[in-house]
Structure 1
C-alpha cells in the first residue's frame, strides 16, 4: 500500500469516487510508480484503505482495463499492462473516442437527422404493453425475491426455458451449460476475462464488430485479422495462420455478420469446426441476428454442428427486444464453467432478477416467438424499401451485396475514395452512416461504409437513401482527391 498513500478521494465533488480513483491511479501508472506486470492492490484491501465500497475500486480497475493500462487474471487480480510508458498515454487518448462511443451505446443526434448508423430498433417497436403485463405478473408472484441477489449463473427456470428454446435451432444444451448475461457485449467481455491472458493471440473476422475488438484489446491480446468473404471467413488464410499463431480463440458472426451482413455457407461452417478441433482452438460464435431472415431460408448456428464442445455460443435478446434491458445467454463448454462463472461474478455479480424472471415468461408462453415474427415483418418492410431505394439511387460504382436478412448493408467505394469523406458529407446533409474503418483493428477499411435501416422509420428510408446517393454521385464526379479525411467522428456500431 505504500505506493498509493497519496490517493485522496473527495466526496464533496460531483465527480464519482471511482472516476477520481481511476484518474489518480492512471497518473501513478504514467509516472512509473507502478511497473509493467506489477499487481495492483487487492480490491477489498484498497477499498478498506480508502474507506469506499469495493464496487468503487472494481469500476476504477475496469476503466484502467478499458484504456489498456491494466489487465486482469481470473482468480488472481489486476495487473499493470506491459506497455512502454511513453506509448501508454498516446494509446489511451487514441482509443478514448471509440470507448466513449461504445459506452454510450448510441450517439446524440438531432431529431431531424436520418440515422443509418445505429442498429437499434425505433422505440415504437418495443413491446411495452406485453412487457408491463408480464412484469406485474412476476412481481405479484415472486414479490421481494425479484430484487435480491440472483444466482450468478442465472435464474434456473429461465435457463430451462432457454434450453427448450435452443432445441428449435438444433442446439443441444443443459441447464448447467447456460450462463445468463447482461447482453452480448458482456458475454464477449466474460470470454475475454475467462480465456485471454496478456499477449495471447486471437483471430477475428475482418471487418468485425467494434465492441469485440475493444474487449480483446483491453485484455492485451494480439489480434490477427482474417478477411471475410461473401460466404464466410477466408479458409485459406485461416488454415495458414492458425498453425503459425496458435490462437486462443476465433471470434465469428456466421449469420448476417456485423458489419458486412454476410452469412457463412454450410460448407464453411463445417470446415471451420474441423479446423478448430484439429488445433484445439475455441470458436466464439456471436449469434447476432440469425432470426431476421427475409428470404424464408434458415441457417443453423455453428453451435448446432459442434459435437466436440469447441464453440462458445453467445446470444443476445436485447437487439430485437428492448436494448435498454440488457439480457442474453451463453452456452459454455463444461471445462470452462468455473472460469466463466468467476468472470461473470467480477463483471456484475448477476443479471437483473426482474428482467430474467419476466423473460422466462416470454419464452415459456411463446410471447417471444410472437414478438420475433412481429419484428421480422416490420423489418422486412424496411429492408425491402431500403434495398429498392439503393437500386434506384446509388451509383453503380458503389458495390454492395443484398444480405437477405439482418439490419445492415456493407458498401465498397471505388479505389482511392474515403469512407470518412463520405461520412462527413452525409453528416452535413443531416444523414448518419458508419465509416468502415471503425470495424477494423488496424488501418484498413478506408473505402467501405455501413448503413443500417433499424433506426429509420419507413417514411424516411427512401428520402435518406436518396440523400446518400446524391452525396456519392457528387463525390465520385469530383474525383478521389476531393475533400479531406474528417477527425473526431464517433458513430454507433
Structure 2
C-alpha cells in the first residue's frame, strides 16, 4: 500500500471530480512503472479508507481504468493491471477514451445509442413502442402484490431470484421443450446483465470467446470489458459456418460461444434445425459452453422450426438467456438464465457482486402475471401486432427497395438486414436519411473493428403500420438517389463480408 500513500487529491477542486483524480493518479503509477502488468490493485474499501473518499469514488475510478483496458477484474479475487503501461508501445496502442478534464464517453452512435428526435420514423430501435406496453394489466398485478405482501415486496430477494417466480418460469419454459430444475434458474435484470454475469463468473483476462459475425453489440462490449479476446465466426443464411466454427474452436480453444439461433440480431436469420444439432455436437466434442441468447423466438411467423438450443442440450453445456424486454416492457429489466450445474456457483457469485438481487417487487408482480395467465394473453397480442407490421414491412421492401440493395427476408422477429452495392457506406446513408427524419442502425455497429460499412439494419419494433409504409417508400427514394450518385465512398474490399 506504500505507493498509494503518496496520492494527493484536491478535495476542494471545482474543476475535476475526485474519481477522475483517483483514476489519473493510478494511471500515473502505471505510466511510471510503479504498477506493472499483473499487479493487484487495493480492495475498493481499503483504498477508499486510505484516501479518505467514499467507496463509489474508487469504484468509478476503477471502472474508467477497466473501460480503457488498463485493468481487469476477477470475481472473488480483485482488480489487476492489464499491461506494462510504461512501455511506449503499449501506451500508444491504447484507445484515447479519456480526455484531460473529465471522462467523455464515445459518440452515442458508436455505443449503439442513436439519438431520436421527435417525429422521426425510428427503424433503429429494437425496443417495442410504448403503445404496446400492457400498463393496465401490470398495474393491476402490482397493486395485488402490494396488498398481499405489503412491505415484504420491497425487501431483498435471494440473489438467485424469488423462488415462486422460478417455479413459474420452470413451467413457462417447458413449452419451449426446456426441461430443467428450479435450482438451475437465475433471475436477472435483463439480458444485458445476464451476459455480463456470465462473463464475470466464467471468463478470465485473455480467454477467447466466439461470436457470430455480425453480432449483438452489447455482448461484444461485455466480453471486451472482461479482457476477453473475441473471435468472429462466419454467419450464413442458415446459421454459423460449421467448418469455420470448428476450425476456430481448435485454433483458439474458447471458453464460450455466444449465439442467437432464432431471429438473430442484427440479421434476423434463424439457424436450421440441422445446424443447431451440429453446433451442439461440436461444442460437446471440444467442451465449449454455449451462451444462447433467446432474443425473439416468441415472434415466429413463418419459420418451420424455432427450437431453442437448450431444448436439444443433453449434456448441460448451454447457458440459456431469456429477456422479456422485447416482448414486454423494457424498463422493467427482467429476464432469467438457465445455468448448467457446473457453473452454478460462479454465476451466483457474479450476480451477487453485481446488484445483490433483482427488484423483489417486480419479480413478485411477474410471478403473479404468469400465474393469472395474463402473460400468455399478452404474447398473443404482441404476436398479432408484430405480425401485421412484419407483413407490411415485407410487402413494402418488395415493392419499393432498389434491386441493387441485397437482403434475405427473415421468417420472424423484428429485424431486417440489408447490404448496399459495393463502394457505398451505410454511415454516409445514415447522415442523409436522418435529415429526412428517418433513422436506422448502421451495420458497422454490429461488427468487430468497425467493419461492415455496407450493411444496415431496419427494425419494426418501434414503428406503426403507417410509418413503415411511408418510411420504406421514402428511404427507398433516398436509396435510389444515393446509389445513382457518382461521388461514392470508396471502401477497401477487405472490409466486405458475404451477404447473409
Do these two structures clear the TM 0.5 threshold for a shared fold by scoring above it? Answer: yes
Comparing 198-207 with 288-297, which one deviates more in the overlay? Answer: 288-297
**What residue number does 1:2 align with?**
2
State yes or no: 1:361 paired with 2:362: no
**2:94 maps to which residue?**
88
Relative to structure 1, is the Cα distance of residues 462 and 165 closer, same or farther in structure 2, using a 3 angstrom cutoff? same
User: TM-score, with normalisation over the residues of structure 2?
Assistant: 0.90
Q: Which residue of 2 aligns with 1:70?
A: 71
Structure 1 residues 391-446: Cα deviation after superposition (integer angstroms, max 9, x where no partner): 12110010111111111100011122112111111122221111111101124211
Paired position in structure 1 for 2:441: 434
Pick aligned residue for 2:152 from 145, 148, 158: 145
The answer (yes or no) to whether the contact 1:232–1:262 under 8 Å persists in 2 is yes
Q: Distance in 1 between matches of 2:65 and 2:169?
A: 35
Change (3 A) 1:53 1:357: farther
Report which stretch shifted further, 241-250 or 11-20: 11-20
- What is the DSSP-based 3-state SS (H/G/I as helix, E as strand, rest coil) of the residue aligned with 1:225? strand
> Is the Cα contact below 8 Å between 1:260 and 1:409 reproduced in 2?
yes
Shift of 1:483: 8.9
**Aligned residues of 1:293 and 1:406 also touching (Cα < 8 A):** yes
SS of structure 2 residue aligned to 1:172: coil
- Would the alpha carbon gap of residues 54 and 143 (structure 1) be closer, same or farther in structure 2, given more than 3 Å must change? farther
Q: What residue number does 1:399 align with?
A: 406
What residue ranges of structure 1 are gaps of 5+ in the alignment? Answer: 486-493
SS of residue in 1 equivalent to 2:332 = coil
Residues 98 and 408 of structure 1: is their aligned pair in 2 closer, same or farther, counting only changes over 3 Å?
Answer: farther
Deviation string 1:114-157 (CA, Å, 9 cap, x unpaired) is 11111111111111111111111111111112222221111111
Superposition pairs of residues 306-455 of structure 1, within 5 angstroms? 306-455=313-462
Equivalent residue, structure 2, for 1:174: 181
From 175, 190, 193, the counterpart of 1:186 = 193
Contact 1:106 1:118 in 2 (8 A): no
* Counterpart in the other structure of 1:489: none
Stretches of structure 2 that go unaligned for 5 or more consecutive residues are 85-89, 493-500
* RMSD over aligned Cα atoms: 2.5
Asked if 2 retains the 8 angstrom alpha-carbon contact of 1:35 and 1:80, the reply is yes
Q: CA deviation at 1:76?
A: 0.4
Q: Figure out how many residues of one structure are paired with residues of the other and give that number.
A: 483
1:136-285 equivalences under 5 Å are 136-285=143-292
Matched-pair contact (CA < 8 Å) for 1:194–1:339? yes
Structure 1-normalised TM-score?
0.91
Distance change >3 Å, CA 143–CA 221, structure 1 → 2:
same
1:13 and 1:294 mapped to 2: Cα distance? 57
Is the Cα–Cα contact under 8 Å of residues 407 and 419 in structure 2 kept in the other structure? yes
SS at match of 2:320: strand
Deviation at 1:78, TM superposition (A): 0.9
Question: Residue 43 of structure 1 aligns with which residue?
Answer: 44
Contact in 2 for aligned 1:288/1:316 (Cα 8 Å): yes
Q: Deviations over 1:315-357 (max 9, x none)?
A: 1112221111111111111111111111111111111111111
Q: Which sits farther off after the overlay, 3-12 or 168-177?
A: 3-12
SS at match of 1:169: coil
Flag the 1:434–1:17 CA change in 2: closer, same or farther, 3 A.
same
Contact 2:290–2:318, Cα closer than 8 Å, also in 1: yes
**Partners of 1:11 and 1:17 within 8 A in 2:** no
CA distance in 2, matches of 1:80, 1:339: 22
**1:62 positional shift:** 3.4
Map Cα deviations across residues 163-186 of structure 1 (whole Å, 9 max, x no partner): 111101010111111111111011
CA distance 1:340–1:124, change in 2 (3 Å): same
Partner residue of 2:498?
Answer: none
Q: Distance in 2 between matches of 1:367 and 1:62?
A: 41
Tell me the residue number matched to 1:491.
Answer: none
